[in-house]
A = this chain, B = another copy of it.
Amino acid sequence: MARVVQKFGGSSVADAASIKRVAKRVVASRQAGHEVVVVISAMGDTTDELLDLANQVSPQPPQRELDMLLTAGERMSAALLAMAINDLGLQARSFTGSQAGVITTGVHGNARILQITPGRIESAVDEGDIVIVAGFQGVSQDTKDVTTIGRGGSDTTAVALAAALGADFCEIYTDVDGVFTADPRIVPAARRIPRISYEEMLEMAACGAKILHLRCVEYARRENVPVHVRSSFNNLDGTWVTDIDEEDNSMEQAIISGVAHDRSEAKITIVGVPDRIGEASKIFSAVADAEINIDMIVQNASEVSTAKTDISFTLPESDGKRAVAALNAIAEDVGFDNVLYDDQIGKVSVIGVGMRTHPGVTARFFGALAEAGVNIGMISTSEIRISVVVDSAEVDQAVRAAHTAFGLDSDTEAVVYAGTGR
């Protein structure tokens, strides 16, 4: 008997029929002898409909009230799932995030889980009940107001609950079969990854793989919760995200686990920055003051004779305009020549713990890109990742070239991708 936390996303509970299907799945786990706690998202379009209602009464609704409104969505799906399970003859009880003891920061719309005090959940599980928890929501430690946990909130709730309950593992049910070596819409020969380490999954999430949110993976790694990402539409094994002992797995470990890509970033280049101490600091302070997160940074001397340099960095495309404005405001003070903005870029990354022990990964990656005729704009690396910025029109070619170069292509085509996951 295992204790398991299962999370079902909005696409798995789009309507009454899908709620009944999820109920059958949950009941099967319980009847297999497991203790089951379910975290559930709002039904399909509920959140969008509620946002639409909010916009009808106020163009800029306060975040506190928006949280109060939106959390009704998960509350409804949680109650409905509990009903459907009861209808199958098993006891189920639904709880709000607040009732489940999900304590968060007070940042409405983007709260972080501080701790979980799952007393009521524990009791219900001990009494043999299936527990349904409304995902995406918690209660602020300071104000006791209802909060929402921001993007990936239900996944993170599930992992955090699994940790707090000492669950054996956490299952994330989604609309794809697991984590793939690349996006199957770009690489039809992409393969499902049966097991991946927390570190690699973190890099994948940070580099554009949308299947699990960064925060959720961070939480799983910190609390050492094994996560099983799998499809809610079949019974196939998905991808296990776990703490992999590299020694044990060296035999089967590929050098590269996957190729990720991200088209959501833009690049800013500041031309002709005086090559003096403190100028870069001024530039990045201005960007930080605008509360913009930057990703890659590259500095290279463009005109050695004039002691000037160019600085480029990438950032979320959605923050582009604000960043350019913040930089133009300090142009005179810093004394640079010009700010260039380019949103026609994409980032392609190869990720794998194998590169720690295998030299030549960079050479092989760049060689494959060159052969495919892809020009590299920027480069950044971590211990287990190499990322390049390329022209957005060349992202697909770059992903395919890398996938082939590292021997990831499968003999058969991947199952058709049903959506983007959440």
List residues of chain B with CB within 8 A of the CB of A339.
none
**Cα A66 to Cα B204 with chains together (Å):** 41
- Contact partner of A65 (CB less than 8 A), chosen from B50, B59, B83, B99, is B83
CB A119 to nearest CB in B, in angstroms, measures 10
* Nearest CB in chain B: distance from A12 CB, A: 14
Q: Which stretch from A74-82, A242-250, A372-380 is at the chain B interface? A: A74-82
Q: Which residues of B contact A306 (CB under 8 A)?
A: none
* A44 CB to nearest B CB, Å: 12
Contact A76 B58 (CB under 8 A): no
> Per-residue 0/1 for A211-230: is the Cβ within 8 Å of any B Cβ (1 yes, 0 no)?
00000000000000000000
Size band of the A side of the interface? Answer: 35 or more
Q: In this assembly, does A68 line the interface, its C-beta being within 8 Å of a C-beta of chain B?
A: yes
Q: Is B144 in contact with A99, judged by CB distance below 8 angstroms?
A: yes
Q: Does chain B have a CB within 8 A of A2?
A: no
Query: Does residue A311 face the partner (Cβ distance < 8 Å to B)?
Result: no
In contact, B64 and A87 (Cβ under 8 angstroms): no
Cβ contacts under 8 Å, A92 to chain B: 65
Q: A50-86: which have CB < 8 Å to B? A: 50, 53-54, 56-62, 64-66, 68-69, 71-72, 75-76, 78-84, 86
Residue of B54, B81, B82 touching A83 (CB-CB under 8 A): B54
Partner of A82, one of B16, B68, B94: B68
How far, in Å, is A207 (CB) from chain B's closest CB?
A: 37
A83: which B residues are within 8 A, CB to CB?
A: 54, 57-58, 61-62, 65-66, 69
CB–CB B72/A58 < 8 A: no
Residues in B whose Cβ lies below 8 Å from that of A87 = 57-61
- Check A185 for interface membership: any CB of B closer than 8 A: no
Output the least CB separation between A412 and chain B (Å).
38
Complex interface bits, A85-110 against B, C-beta within 8 A gives 1, otherwise 0: 01100001110100100000000000
Give the distance in Å from the alpha carbon of A82 to the alpha carbon of B78 in the complex. Answer: 25
A62 to B75, Cβ gap below 8 A?
Answer: no
Would A120 and B144 be within 8 Å (CB), given that A57-B16, A62-B86, A65-B79 are in contact?
yes
Determine the chain B residues whose CB is within 8 A of the CB of A23 once the complex forms: 57
Q: Which residue of B lies closest to A57 (CB)?
A: B84
Cβ contact within 8 Å between B79 and A58 = no
Query: Within 8 Å CB of A62, what residues of B?
Result: 82-83, 86
User: Which residues of the other chain, B, contact A146 by a CB distance below 8 angstroms?
Assistant: 96
User: CB-CB < 8 A to A79: which residues of B?
Assistant: 54, 65-66, 68-69, 72
- Answer yes or no: A191 CB below 8 A from chain B CBs: no
The answer to whether A57 touches B80 (Cβ under 8 A) is yes
Let me know if A72 and B76 touch, CB within 8 A: yes
Asked, given contacts A65-B79, A68-B79, whether A16 binds B59 with beta carbons under 8 Å apart, the answer is: no
A75, B84: Cβ atoms closer than 8 Å: no
Confirm or deny: A347 has a beta carbon within 8 angstroms of a beta carbon on chain B.
Answer: no
| Residues of the B chain whose Cβ atoms lie less than 8 Å from the Cβ of A72 | 72, 75-76, 79
Q: Which residues of B contact A54 (CB under 8 A)?
A: 79-80, 83
Cα distance A284–B352 in the bound complex, in angstroms: 79
Q: Which residues of A approach B to under 8 Å, CB–CB?
A: 16, 19-20, 23, 50, 53-54, 56-62, 64-66, 68-69, 71-72, 75-76, 78-84, 86-87, 92-94, 96, 99, 120, 144, 146
For the complex of A and B, the 7 pairs showing the least CB-CB separation, nearest first, are A16-B56, A69-B79, A58-B87, A68-B79, A61-B83, A72-B72, A58-B83
Given contacts A19-B57, A58-B83, A72-B72, 8 further A-B contacts (CB under 8 A): A16-B53, A20-B57, A53-B76, A54-B79, A65-B79, A65-B92, A68-B79, A69-B76
24 contacts between A and B (CB under 8 A): A16-B53, A16-B56, A16-B57, A50-B76, A53-B76, A53-B80, A54-B79, A54-B83, A57-B81, A59-B87, A61-B83, A61-B86, A62-B82, A64-B93, A65-B80, A65-B82, A65-B93, A66-B83, A68-B75, A68-B78, A69-B75, A72-B75, A72-B76, A75-B75
